[in-house]
Amino acid sequence: MSTTPLASRCAVPKRPQPTPGTTTPSLDPIALHCEAVNACAMANYYTRKGNHAGAARKAGQALSALRRLAAFERLEVAA
């Protein structure tokens, strides 16, 4: 008798999904725009709460997303 489990009872392994907030490069312009808007909103929130270090970090993330969006648009125009 076999000791291996039945194929129907085994879980199908899922592809690992990148966690939000990681530095995985994204080429989706809508996602890049949303990332920039969210980072700006969080920078504003942190500024109002007095967390200027957090606001500076989020402002840097927003600028990074905007730079990637601009680079993506330059690639689209060149193609």
Q: What is the domain partition of the chain in residue ranges?
A: 27-78
Determine the longest span between alpha carbons in the chain, in angstroms: 67
Q: Can you tell me the distance from the alpha carbon of 55 to that of 40, in angstroms, rounded to the nearest whole number?
A: 9
Q: Say what the pLDDT of residue 8 is.
A: 54
What is the per-residue pLDDT across 28-67, written as a single tens digit (0 to 9) for each? 889 999 999 999 999 999 999 999 999 999 999 999 999 9
Q: Can you tell me the distance from the alpha carbon of 13 to that of 31, in angstroms, rounded to the nearest whole number?
A: 26
